[in-house]
Amino acid sequence: MTTRDVIAIENRYGAHNYHPLPVVLTRGEGVWVWDIEEKRYLDMLSAYSAHNLGHSHPGVLAVAHRQLERLTLTSRAFHNDLLGLFCHRLADLCGMEMVLPMNTGAEAVETAIKTARKWGYKTKKVEEEKAEIIVCRENFHGRTTTIVSFSTDPVARHDFGPYTPGFVVVPYGDPDALREAITPNTVAFLVEPIQGEAGVKMPPDGYLSAVKEICAAGRLLFMADEIQTGLGRTGKLFCYEHDDAKPDVLILGKALGGGIFPVSAVVSSRNILGIFQPGEHGSTFGGNPLGCAVAMAALDSLEDKELLDNATRQGERFRSELRDLQSPLVSEVRGRGLLNAVEFFPDKVDGRRMCEELLCKGLLAKETHRNIVRFAPPLIISDEEMGWALSIIGEVLRGAEENG
Long-range contacts of 386-394 (CB under 8 A, 24+ apart): 386/314, 386/317, 386/318, 388/42, 389/42, 389/44, 389/318, 389/363, 390/317, 390/318, 390/321, 390/322, 392/42, 392/358, 392/361, 392/362, 392/363, 393/322, 393/342, 393/358, 393/363, 394/321, 394/322, 394/325
pLDDT digits (tens, 9 = 90+) for 189-240: 999 999 999 999 999 999 999 999 999 999 999 999 999 999 999 999 999 9
Whether 238 is a known active-site residue: answer no
Out of 254, 261, 318, 344, pick the active-site residue: 254
> Is the whole model's pTM more than 0.85, yes or no?
yes
Report the mean per-residue pLDDT for the chain: 97
Q: What is the mean pLDDT of residues 269-277?
A: 98
Q: CB within 8 A of 396, min separation 6: which ones?
A: 354, 357, 358, 361
Whether 140 is a known active-site residue: answer yes
CATH class of 3-57+306-402: alpha beta
Q: Could you tell me the maximum CA-CA distance found in the chain, to the nearest angstrom?
A: 64
Give the three-class secondary structure for 247: coil
What is the C-alpha to C-alpha distance for residues 130 and 379, in angstroms, rounded to an integer?
Answer: 43
Q: What are phi and psi of 16, to 5 degrees?
A: -95, 55
pLDDT digits (tens, 9 = 90+) for 87-138: 999 999 999 999 999 999 999 999 999 999 999 999 999 999 999 999 999 9
Out of 167, 225, 285, 318, pick the active-site residue: 225
Query: DSSP alpha helices (H): ranges in 52-152?
Result: 58-68, 83-94, 105-122, 145-149
pLDDT above 70: residue 404:
no
Domain with CATH 3.90.1150.10 in the chain: 3-57+306-402
Give the three-class secondary structure for 18: coil
Q: What secondary structure, in 3-state letters, does 136-194 show?
A: ECCCCCCCCHHHHHCCCCHHHHCCCCCCCCCEEEECCCCHHHHHHHCCCCEEEEEECCC
| CATH code that applies to domain 58-302 | 3.40.640.10
Out of 140, 189, 222, 344, pick the active-site residue: 140
Whole-number pLDDT of residue 118: 98
Which residue, among 236, 269, 270, 283, has the nearest Cα to 73 in the 3D structure?
A: 283
Query: What's the CA angle centered on 144, arms 283 and 240, to 5 degrees?
Result: 85
Cis omega (within 30 of 0) on the bond before 162? yes
Whether 225 is a known active-site residue: answer yes
Do 155 and 87 contact (CB within 8 A), yes or no?
no
Hey, CA dihedral for 209, 176, 221, 231, is it positive or negative? negative
pLDDT digits (tens, 9 = 90+) for 289-302: 999 999 999 999 99
Whole-number pLDDT of residue 154: 94
Q: CB within 8 A of 44, min separation 6: which ones?
A: 358, 363, 364, 365, 375, 376, 377, 389
What is the C-alpha to C-alpha distance for residues 127 and 121, in angstroms, rounded to an integer?
Answer: 7
Whole-number pLDDT of residue 58: 97
Q: What are phi and psi of 230, to 5 degrees?
A: -80, 170
pLDDT digits (tens, 9 = 90+) for 21-67: 999 999 999 999 999 999 999 999 999 999 999 999 999 999 999 99
**What Rg, from alpha-carbon coordinates, does the chain have?**
21
pLDDT above 90: residue 354:
yes
Do 243 and 173 contact (CB within 8 A), yes or no?
no
Which residues, in sequence order, are bridge partners of residue 43? 364
Task: Using DSSP bridges, classify how beta strands 132-136 and 186-191 pair: parallel, antiparallel or unpaired.
Answer: parallel
pLDDT above 70: residue 376:
yes
Whole-number pLDDT of residue 403: 83
What is the C-alpha to C-alpha distance for residues 250 and 268, in angstroms, rounded to an integer?
Answer: 6
Domain with CATH 3.40.640.10 in the chain: 58-302
Distance from the Cα of residue 94 to its chain's centroid? 17
